[in-house]
Copies of this chain bind each other. A is one copy, B any other.
């Protein structure tokens, strides 16, 4: 068993990490920190955990994080970069669920995240934790940048056609929709039930932080610069991301998209390609680490439509983080994250 610490355990990715790690057979959670709730029983804040955990939130300053084998940062952006170096020096591995180590271009990162980066030299060595692309690098990584929720669903959806070079990568379109938990457990007016329920809206059309992250990832896959239009929307539901992806085929010859998708993900435990003609629903992955994908070519036109769904808190955050942990520590990749989705 490994000793695991969680920094910032009071948000949605925090409680989701707890739900998964508590039942993980190779993990012992030794520390959970919170600046604001220090001293409070974890199960008092999250009544769903009553009877399953007997820890208190500890103050970040006095915590024994450096005694851990692995520390998850489930913090706002800009925290992990302050503490990473010391922990790595102490031999502790790190998985950051925030954005501090996701973007290789420091200037680009600083533009989108509105702060100066505290340890640019670590960014280069950080591994982007999307196992379906980077499994080998993750295995030997000490510092993993866990992908954002939108980027996971979008990159997995585009992956086969971009890898094969059969679509116009100058004009990809990602029309993505997210449940409200993606905005986190923060008191804000626009995500109140009375504001966000019985409503639908796009946001961030002029620009969104996940845009450069997706572009960077697909550019690496394509081996050349990729351009995409990225439009996020807010859905009146708690969990779930649905990416509707559009790409123009560049080859006129007959292509069996269904076969391409099935083959690409044949050995991936957490990517499920639906039978031809089907449409994935976000609820079919609720509470699970699965990404379900369907690929369509309506009216046999040259526009491919890919539908990709995940649970933003699991495959889009905590579940993928544990998947990365399993890879980093040599556990079976699916260990502790094969929960069956909750329907209805």
Contact = CB atoms under 8 A, between A and B. Distances in A.
Interface of A: 12, 15, 19, 22-23, 46-52, 171, 173, 175, 177, 179-181, 183, 185-189, 191-203, 205-207, 227, 229-231, 233, 235-240, 242, 244, 246, 248, 272, 274, 277-288, 290, 292, 294, 296, 298-299, 301, 303, 305, 307, 309, 313, 339-344
Given A177-B200, A201-B242, A202-B244, A47 B340 contact: no
B199 A281 contact: yes
A197 to B, nearest CB: 6
B242 A233 contact: yes
User: What's the number of copies of this chain in the assembled complex?
Assistant: 4
**Closest 3 pairs between A and B when the two form their complex, measured CB to CB:** A48-B341, A201-B281, A187-B187
A207 B286 CA distance: 27
Contacts of A185: 189, 192, 194-195, 344
A283 B198 CA distance: 7
A200 B282 contact: yes
Given A193-B193, A193-B196, A200-B235, A343 B229 contact: no
Contacts of A282: 199-201
Given A50-B284, A171-B248, A238-B344, 18 more contacts: A12-B344, A173-B173, A175-B175, A177-B233, A180-B192, A180-B197, A181-B344, A185-B344, A187-B189, A188-B192, A193-B196, A197-B198, A198-B237, A199-B237, A199-B282, A205-B305, A207-B298, A287-B287
Contact of A236 (B233, B237, B279, B305): B237
A191 B194 contact: yes
11 contacts: A49-B340, A181-B344, A192-B192, A197-B236, A200-B235, A200-B242, A203-B279, A205-B294, A206-B296, A231-B298, A238-B344
Contacts of A238: 193-194, 197-198, 344
Contacts of A294: 205
Contact of A12 (B194, B244, B305): B194
A208 B201 CA distance: 23
